[in-house]
Amino acid sequence: MAPSDYFLFRNLKSYLRGVHYPDDEVVKEDVKEWLEGQTEDFYYFLVELTVCEKNVANALNSVVIILKNKVQFIVKLQNFLNAPRKFVLFGAQ
């Protein structure tokens, strides 16, 4: 669960705590009204959390790509170093 999900659902959970609904439609309507009643700051904070999460995810993806490239380089280097070689001495007959 992402931090923005936790922020949203924690607040919604607090709002719904102890309330019993007769059916799903009433729940949906109440949640919709709750969402519409939130302040601009509430949504601004959610957007900021989401942007932060995306930046962290992008950074982690970059690290994974770098590590994969390093592993590929190491494997190629090991293959090169382990390959049989034919040495030719210059001037030798």
Which contacts qualify for 5-13: CB closer than 8 Å, 24 or more apart?
7/45, 7/46, 7/49, 8/46, 11/42
* Contact of 40 with 21, CB cutoff 8 Å: no
Mean pLDDT (the chain, rounded):
76
Q: Which has more confidence, 24 or 82?
A: 24
- What is the pLDDT, as a whole number, of residue 3? 52
3-16 vs 24-36: helix crossing angle, rounded to 10: 120
The pLDDT, as a whole number, for residue 91 is 64
| pLDDT tens by residue, 2-19 | 555 555 677 788 888 888
Cα→Cα distances 73→32, 43, 59, Å: 53, 45, 21
Ramachandran sector of residue 18 (left: φ over 0; alpha: ψ -120 to 50; beta: rest):
left
User: What is the pTM assigned to this prediction?
Assistant: 0.44
Question: Which pLDDT value is given to residue 83?
Answer: 80
Only one residue has tokens 């919709």, namely 32
Give the pLDDT of residue 6.
52
